[in-house]
Amino acid sequence: MTPERIHRDDDERLYQPRIHSRWIRELYRIKRFSGEPMTVLVDWALQEFVQSRMLGDDRDSDGLGSEENGSLPHSRGPRKTGPLS
């Protein structure tokens, strides 16, 4: 399989948040299994996440939902994911 590449011709080079090491380890495992670059895997995951958030019924005209109290649409607060949290 030929790995996909992310074309950055239209990239605005905005702030890029740090990713916790536990997710980097998991991404690396998936990368080894799939052969896809980690950047592509992250891009796919973020695309799915953002699209799923935009499908809710409480969208504003921009499709992003309410941002009352400074929270993201459908935000449930910090998510506990196990002993590493």
Successive 10-residue mean pLDDT values, the chain, 85 residues:
74 86 95 94 93 73 49 45 45
Residue 59 has what DSSP assignment? -
The structural domains of the chain, with segments of one domain joined by +, span: 19-54
* Cα 42 from Cα 23, distance rounded (Å): 10
pTM: 0.55
* Cα 56 from Cα 82, distance rounded (Å): 27
Q: Which H, E and C letters describe 4-56, residue by residue?
A: CCCCCCCCCCCCCCCCCHHHHHHHHHHHHHHCCCHHHHHHHHHHHHHHHHCCC
